[in-house]
Structure 1
């Protein structure tokens, strides 16, 4: 949940992202109350634009202008949570995500954020291929088209993991 996605002045902001951010924040706090490890994946492109070309020239989430800044409303605890910069859509690609999960004995992962058809799905697929039990929290993910969102959630539920609501997950 970085500036370019959740701030109306961001390069790839779309309606609904502020509401999504509020839902994600509530989910994170509830998960923390249950003792779950929280890992933030920060989509970030280098200042020299070296890796921006991999997103087909879309210059968003750049280090140079703060587009990659995590939203200040996120309940980040610097002493307990992990923040991993990612240069690709998948949170597993070239990050320490797999290492951290394995070192903490975690095999079930819960995913929230944006965009369902890019970062969320890529992370889900890679997690599945690495043997994780993957869960997507459907009311805490989104993309700019509700129909596209629904199609990807159906695919994820059918082929890669589980799709549940935050209420079903946490029983609240």
Structure 2
């Protein structure tokens, strides 16, 4: 007999770098995802669903392959890498995964952790749709999870690439759903 689907929430890069005005990764409209992400987080907290805070962190003073393509950013202990506003982990069903690349799954123990918790589906929200969200959804699928992306809980400063990414996620990897449906999955 098949086990029922168990859903976890993955919040991707909800850090000052993207959400505080004046940081290089901030872009107009990014704040539109804050309330939808709060709705998802609050639903998960009420139901006891696992919440994973997947945040980019790099080691100060050490070489990082990412610096070949991007400027140095999100160093351990730096203000830009800190959790934004009220998005710090809170409660027994929340954990943090530090990532050094776009995907929350690549070179982390996230897949192992979620499999050990019998999770079968992940709701993925955060920034940016065409980079970290897409990479996380693709690796979630490759790791044996059903990725679900609530349309209102992700965006990008490249809207045309965000739309193409959502289309690919829905067609090839998982589902792109309205916020209410994702909240229901976490409730």
TM exceeding 0.5: yes
Q: Aligned to 1:99, which of 94, 99, 112?
A: 112
Point out the more displaced range, 28-37 or 159-168: 28-37
- The alignment status of 1:144 with 2:151, answered yes or no, reads no
Return the alpha-carbon distance in structure 2 between the equivalents of residues 169 and 61 of structure 1: 29
Q: Aligned to 1:65, which of 78, 82, 85?
A: 78
Q: Aligned ranges for residues 115-154 of structure 1 at < 5 Å?
A: 115-154=128-167
Distance 1:39 1:64, change over 3 A: closer
Q: TM-score, normalised by structure 2?
A: 0.84
Distance 1:45 1:159, change over 3 A: same
1:52, distance to aligned residue in structure 2 (A): 5.8
- The alignment status of 1:81 with 2:94, answered yes or no, reads yes
| Cα RMSD (Å) | 1.9
1:134, distance to aligned residue in structure 2 (A): 1.1
Unaligned residue ranges in structure 2 (runs of 5+): 1-13
1:122, distance to aligned residue in structure 2 (A): 0.7
- The alignment status of 1:166 with 2:179, answered yes or no, reads yes
Secondary structure at 1:67 match in 2: helix
Q: TM-score, normalised by structure 1?
A: 0.91
Q: How many matched pairs?
A: 172
Which residue of structure 1 aligns with residue 3 of structure 2? none
Distance 1:55 1:154, change over 3 A: farther
1:97, distance to aligned residue in structure 2 (A): 0.6
1:36, distance to aligned residue in structure 2 (A): 1.2
Q: Aligned to 1:22, which of 35, 57, 68?
A: 35
1:12 touches 1:60 (CA, 8 Å); kept in 2? no
Distance 1:77 1:161, change over 3 A: same
Q: Aligned ranges for residues 6-17 of structure 1 at < 5 Å?
A: 6-17=19-30
**More relative contact order, 1 or 2 (CA 8 Å, 6+ apart):** 2
1:162, distance to aligned residue in structure 2 (A): 0.4
Unaligned residue ranges in structure 1 (runs of 5+): none
2:40 touches 2:182 (CA, 8 Å); kept in 1? no
